[in-house]
Amino acid sequence: METRTWPGAPSAASADPPGGARDADTSPGPAVYGAAALSLVSALVYLWAAPMQFVLWWGYSLFFLAFALFQGIYAVALLRWPTQPLCLLGIWPNLALFLLYLVWYTRGIPFGPHAGMLMYPQRVDVAGALAEVGIVVALVTLLRGAPRRAAVNTLCLIGAAIWAAVLAGMIS
């Protein structure tokens, strides 16, 4: 019986070189397309939210516009060069933005003139946060070898820290 895989999926015959130096799947597959699409969704969410943040403070709006630009450029770059370093470059900013989202909507705005002000999320905000989590998951699946192990271990530690913060009442 013949085994079929999607384009760009690693085959059983292709072993990772020592140290996990192999790039992510060089021909774009579902994970690359998914991460790029979610990155564009995130960019659109930040573009949509930027004018509303300007009402609070221009710095928030500038932050949202900068991240929208990053997400848009990142989506195109990922489709063009789906390499491990580029995957790693996308994981950590998206994770940081998701963690900022958690703080922003549970403890209040963490910086700027309205620091501490509690905001209430709208559906589009939740969609943006879920897109960021989806990007992280898709990009981790593209990693191989030591970078993948390091990323998964770090994500597990961050997850444990979030649960500890919830249990300690720091995040509600």
Per domain, the residue ranges of the chain are 28-144
Query: Is 22 within 8 Å of 16 (Cβ atoms)?
Result: yes
Secondary structure of residue 59 in the 3-state scheme: helix
State how far Cα 109 lies from the chain centre.
20
93 CB-near residues (< 8 Å, 6+ apart): 67, 70
Tokens coding 10: 């690693």
pLDDT of residue 16: 47
Alpha-carbon distance of 160 to 152, in angstroms, equals 12
Phi, psi (degrees; rounded to nearest 5) at 28: -55, 130
SS3 per-residue string spanning 72-132: HHHHHHHHHCCCHHHHHHHHHHHHHHHHHHHHHHHCCCCCCCCCCCCCCCCHHHHHHHHHH
pLDDT tens sequence for the chain (172 residues): 554 444 454 554 444 444 444 454 446 789 999 999 999 999 999 999 999 888 889 999 999 999 999 999 999 999 999 999 999 999 999 999 999 998 888 888 888 898 888 888 899 999 999 999 999 999 999 999 999 999 999 999 999 998 998 899 877 6
pLDDT of residue 119: 85
The rounded radius of gyration (Å) of the Cα atoms in the chain is 18
